[in-house]
Amino acid sequence: MVQGKMLPEFLTEEFARDLDRSDELASFREHFYLKPGTIYIWPIMMIGFYHPA
């Protein structure tokens, strides 16, 4: 219930938690979880990159 109004089932926290529990890829995603405050820099290859100044 939000501000006294009933929410559709798919908008509830309980539904979201059930969906997370049934997710077959959850353990795969946990492997790539970044802790809060972590800065991740994707390696970018700049070979042959041309930028006119």
List, run by run, the mean pLDDT of 10-residue segments along the chain (53 residues): 66 80 76 78 63 62
pLDDT given at position 53: 62
Task: Write the burial class of residue 11 (CB in 10 Å: 0-12 exposed, 13-18 middle, 19+ buried).
Answer: exposed
Query: How much is the pLDDT for 24?
Result: 78
* Helices assigned H by DSSP within the chain: 13-22, 26-31
- pLDDT of res. 21: 80
pLDDT for res 7? 66
pTM of the model: 0.32
Q: How confident is the model at residue 48, as a pLDDT?
A: 60
